[in-house]
Amino acid sequence: MNTITAAITAVGAYVPDFVLTNKVLETMVDTNDEWITTRTGIKERRILKDADKGTSYLAIKAAQDLIAKANIDPLDIDMIIMATATPDMMVASTGVFVATEIGATNAFAYDLQAACSSFLYGMSTAAAYVQSGRYKKVLLIGADKMSSIVDYTDRATCIIFGDGAGAVLFEPNYEGLGLQDEYLRSDGVGRDFLKIPAGGSLIPPSEETVKNRQHNIMQDGKTVFKYAVTNMADASELILQRNNLTNQDVDFLVPHQANKRIIDATAGRLELDDSKVLVNIERYGNTTSGTLPLVLADFEHKLKKGDNVIFAAFGGGFTWGSIYLKWAYDKN
């Protein structure tokens, strides 16, 4: 029997229509376009304005885009992994609702939360299910409605985040394509530097926590930046060394889109030419779990069968890592 590898065979994406530009943010908080662009590389981000729509809406749209483009029957999907840091609600899994809404009623589903590394961790998980031989079609969705947890009076965070979703389909491959290697890590020291303080079991919701804005994302930017630059670059470099790859062997780097300076530092460590670094942060900002699949959707036309693609991410907690994947198809 041939060895099974797990390959991405289809990509889908969705971003809301409303565009929140740096110019608009200038009217909301004490900031300006030049400051934001210089420090983050972000020019605009998409916002889901509908108060009655949550992360599931973004995820459903991205999944439906993939299903339509790949022309697959939702009933053939075996399982769905929902990578998100902003589920619709506690306890009731967002992924389960998404599966039902897209007609994937033969699939089981669950949520996976590792902050900005959620999709990267989800790639590892989805691939493992496929490689086990038990599942043929695993849909991995990365989606976040970050606007629901951002304090738009906090100029340190409101300039960074946007809403969006992407999805990929993992299927068995017998040509040696797909996920080749992974290096995933975490360190609980990050718990105090990037978090939403209240709303969990440690500090349950109360009138006081709402009044104190403790249900919004808070971060120590300098500390997070330092850890992100070091760990994303280290993980990516290790993946190359472990697989005897040089910068010439790498066709594309798909980095988490949190900050252009972090992306540049990672690419610099690998000595990659700018043409090999896929970046769309200027249009979407940091969509957390949505960044990696949104990059794939935007640059799918560039990816060729057999391409060596390196993924890298860093998230709150702290969580981080890198994945080496051989691309499995040419877009028609």
Q: What is the 3-state secondary structure (H, E, C) of 271-290?
A: CCCHHHECCCHHHHCECHHH
Closest CA to 295 of 136, 126, 168, 106: 168
What tokens appear for 214 in the block? Answer: 């403790």
Contact (Cβ atoms closer than 8 angstroms) between residue 116 and residue 86: no
Length, in residues, of the chain: 332
| Kind plus residue range of the DSSP H or E element containing 55 | helix 55-70
Q: How far is CA 64 from CA 50, 136, 141, 218, in A?
A: 19, 19, 11, 33
Please state whether the peptide bond connecting residue 318 to the residue before it is cis, i.e. omega within 30 degrees of 0. yes
Could you give the CA distance from residue 18 to residue 184 in angstroms, rounded to a whole number? 34
Residues sharing a CB contact under 8 Å with residue 71, sequence separation 6 or more, in sequence order:
none
Packing angle, helices 33-40 and 260-269, rounded to 10: 30
How many helices and strands (H and E) does the chain possess?
A: 10, 13
Could you give the CA distance from residue 143 to residue 31 in angstroms, rounded to a whole number? 27
Q: Which residues pair with 164 in a beta bridge?
A: 144
What tokens appear for 172 in the block? Answer: 């068995």
Contact (Cβ atoms closer than 8 angstroms) between residue 261 and residue 39: yes
Residue 2 is classified by DSSP as P
Catalytic site positions: 116, 256, 286
How does strand 79-83 pair with strand 138-145? parallel
